[in-house]
Chains A and B, each alone.
Chain A
Amino acid sequence: MNGDVNGDANGDVNVNDGGLGDLPPDLLRGLTQPRVSRRAALKFGGLSALGMALSACSIAGTKGKGGNLGGQAWREQIATYWSQQKKKGHLDFENWPLYMDVGKKSSDHPSLDLFTKQYGISVSYHEDISDNSSYYGKIAPVLSAGQSIGADIIVITNGFELENLFERDWLLPLDQSRMTNFYKYSSDLVRDPSYDRGNIYTMAWQSGITGIGYNPKLIGHEITGWKDLLDPKLSGKIGMFNNSDDIASAAMCALGIDPEASTPSDWKKAADWLKKQRPLVRKYYDQSYADALAKGDLWATMAWSGDIFLKQADNPDLKFVIPEEGGIIWTDNMCIPVHSQHPLDAMIYMDYVYQPKIAAMLADYINYITPVSAVQPIFEKEAKDATTKDDKAYYTNLASSPLIFPKPADFARLHRYRVLPSTERKAWNALFEPIYQS
């Protein structure tokens, strides 16, 4: 295609000459077998881009083969690949903190133990992902060097980093024949999503909403939409997020623009809205916004639904609202990175969590939006069968919470992030980065 040359850690050079349809045998081998030792990867992975800059007066791109997705030849290649895989009895799973059910001890995960018991597959579970960009920064040099990152399932939010993984062919296409529970029970929200048509690479873990968290006691009135975050009376008490995707999407919602269908001229309008708002903003926050809100440093802030749920335990005054102009819905996705050592075990697990009973075990603890709508009747039944008053109240609350089971009217107000290919990314960043880093 473009004759792009990817330098490899061991000096190999792969010339990209075709679509994914003619997956070369060495790549297929590479999907399972690391070609260089871990030591060599550490040695060369770190040098990566800049080392090459000096020797070649250019930095090689990391573009994948792309194209031809879903073609007949491609489908056969994938099928052949999966038919050669065997169950290995082990699985390495990397996830975000507080994103898995917990038993009596905090290291107990009942749903994982049940999985091991049922399928004979042991699971090493790690909570190593605390934000998408730094995690991507960590795995990219390793994947770029053709190495295994030592994980079979990783959980990545739909957005720039996931898009990057697609574009570079760093994810394994899933085995569609092993997704029976997924196709039977997954909710409309996560089936065939706009960022991964046909669920070729991903299955949702959980979803959540970006809206506004606020403290009506301190403000003196309720917050209904983004326009309230332009109120001069809240000067110095407003928080916004410190990443382009969230603030840009919020501003477009405020202006009545659907972020997903937005054009560069819409982005300019969004940037103007944010610049107008900037003098009132206390800080562009990372995850620390939730503490600042609970402590009272912030009165109203962009917020993730699940965080506010959690912080209400510290500060019962806190509230969360899906802004009337529209909020943002995002999905964290399970995917299998290339060079995974136990891909079949990963497939079995990913489909396993779509059984309503298992999904309910997870939702009971996580309190974000579950990908299985059949969980709602399970919670209703739990509420009915509950023996204590506390349990009854708890399950009634869960089953009726719009933050866990959004109503159709809520969905109508929720938008997805704009899918941004690398080529458009520069213009986007140039507009929004100077705003949150001002």
Chain B
Amino acid sequence: MNGPRIRRRLTPYALVLPGWLWLVIFFVVPTLSMLSVSTMTGNDLNGFKQTFHFSTYKQAWSTYHVQILRSLEYGLAATIICLVIAYPVAYWIAFRGGRYKSSLLFLLLLPFFVSFVIRTQSWQFMLDDHGMVLGLLRTFHLAGSHTQILQTSTAVIGGLVYNFLPFTVLPIYVALERVEPALLEASADLYANKFIAFRKVVLPLSLPGVFAAVLLTFVPVASDYVNAQILGGARTTMIGTVIQTEYFTNLNYPMAASLSFILMGVLLIGIFLYARLLGTDDVLEMAAA
């Protein structure tokens, strides 16, 4: 009678099947087909044929490495600023929020019920040469007539920070929220002052949250293509915009696919290095826990 045993052994696989199917259909298949497209040659009129033309990658890198590196740079800057802003916010909500915790989290998310294109657009009105910000600075003679914020990298990074901040706050909040108050009492019993208690107890316990927050922020920020288009200028184009133009305007599918894979590769290498630096497996395990 091994029927029930087999069924018991197969049940977990059956349960996970929908997930696997989803991944295969909507991730593996498109990725492989994009990979195939990236080495094709031709044009959209006569069609594209598979010729294993790998030099598209070389051409993509040599034409657009500036925009790729700039995306990483903006991504890094925005992620760091997000962390600096998000950690105290998450800490305050987790430890001082009390019964208002959920209301505070809701407030944090409230602006995001408005379309983010419109929110970014409204930054334009605030940042333009005669807008609220520069107008005020000029009144106090802190800005000259040629000072500009809109259409600079400052505006783009600012927009990115604003739009992705909740993705940094929430994972850190979840990690901090799980810190057992008894641990803090115990550290006080062992003569740790508040600072040492934070450094030795709270910070290490929140690191998995920080790790997740960095991933959730950095990856979408580096591939964002809206902020740079609305707030950016002549020298702030990010790679997402280029990929969009190659795909939808120029109908140059191989170039768009190659650029996507280069970006993916660069991001994967960056994340791998980052995971190594932060203690790899432990952190990944803790993040998964």
Contact = CB atoms under 8 A, between A and B. Distances in A.
B32 A422 contact: no
Contact of B253 (A59, A63, A137, A425): A59
Secondary structure call for the B interface = mixed
A58 B48 contact: yes
A164 B44 CA distance: 10
Contact of A61 (B47, B150, B232, B242): B47
Contact of A296 (B63, B129, B146): B129
B32 A295 contact: no
Interface string B113-133: 000000000000000111000
Given A282-B151, A433-B250, A61 B43 contact: yes
Given A62-B45, A433-B250, A437-B245, A50 B30 contact: yes
B47 A295 contact: no
Nearest to A164: B45
A398 to B, nearest CB: 32
A137 B248 CA distance: 7
A98 interface: no
Contacts of B43: 61, 422-423, 425-426
Interface stretch (B34-42, B94-102, B277-285): B34-42
A61 B233 contact: no
A30 B140 CA distance: 69
A284 interface: yes
Contacts of B249: 133, 137
Contacts of B50: 57-58
Given A167-B45, A283-B232, A429-B252, A438 B237 contact: yes
B199 interface: no
A49 B253 contact: yes
A213 B50 CA distance: 47
A13 interface: no
A296 B130 contact: yes
A57 to B, nearest CB: 5
A281 interface: yes
A60 B242 CA distance: 24
B148 A54 contact: no
Given A167-B45, A426-B252, A437-B245, A282 B37 contact: no
B233 A57 contact: no
Contacts of A134: 248
Q: Which among A62, A63, A278, A438 has the highest number of chain B CB atoms within 10 Å? A: A438
Given A137-B248, A283-B234, A236 B146 contact: yes
A220 to B, nearest CB: 12
A340 B245 CA distance: 29
B63 A168 contact: no
Given A54-B29, A433-B245, A61 B237 contact: no
B2 interface: no
A434 interface: yes
B33 interface: yes
Interface in A39-68: 49-51, 53-54, 57-63
Given A168-B45, A422-B45, A430 B234 contact: no
Given A54-B29, A59-B37, A296-B129, A4 B47 contact: yes
Interface in B246-285: 246, 248-250, 252-253
Contacts of A281: 233-234
A437 B237 contact: yes
B58 interface: no
A22 interface: no
Given A58-B48, A167-B45, A438 B234 contact: yes
Contacts of B63: 430, 434
Contacts of B139: none
Contacts of A2: 46
Interface in B78-104: none
Contacts of B242: 433, 437
Given A61-B44, A425-B250, A429-B252, A54 B36 contact: yes
Contacts of B241: 437
A133 B246 CA distance: 12
Contact of A297 (B129, B234, B248): B129
Contacts of A425: 43, 250
Contacts of A235: 146
B47 A60 contact: yes
Q: Which among B63, B67, B129, B242 has the highest number of chain A CB atoms within 10 Å? A: B129
Contacts of A423: 43, 45
B47 A59 contact: yes
Interface string A413-438: 00000000011011001100110011
B36 A57 contact: yes
Contacts of B137: none
Contacts of A164: 45
B127 to A, nearest CB: 10
Q: Which among B33, B64, B252 has the highest number of chain A CB atoms within 10 Å? A: B33
Interface in A174-201: none
Contact of A58 (B34, B47, B150, B246): B47
A282 B150 CA distance: 9
Contacts of A422: 43-46
Contacts of A278: 234-235
24 contacts: A49-B253, A50-B34, A53-B40, A53-B253, A54-B29, A54-B33, A60-B47, A61-B43, A62-B45, A168-B45, A283-B234, A292-B128, A296-B129, A296-B130, A297-B128, A297-B150, A422-B44, A426-B252, A429-B252, A433-B242, A433-B245, A434-B63, A437-B245, A438-B235
Interface of B: 29-30, 32-34, 36-37, 40, 42-50, 63-64, 66-67, 128-130, 146, 148, 150-151, 232-235, 237, 241-242, 245-246, 248-250, 252-253
Given A50-B253, A59-B253, A422-B44, 14 more contacts: A2-B46, A50-B33, A50-B37, A57-B36, A133-B248, A167-B45, A282-B234, A283-B151, A297-B129, A425-B250, A426-B43, A429-B252, A437-B67, A438-B237
Q: Which A-B residue pairs are the 5 nearest by beta carbons? A: A61-B47, A422-B45, A59-B48, A54-B33, A281-B234
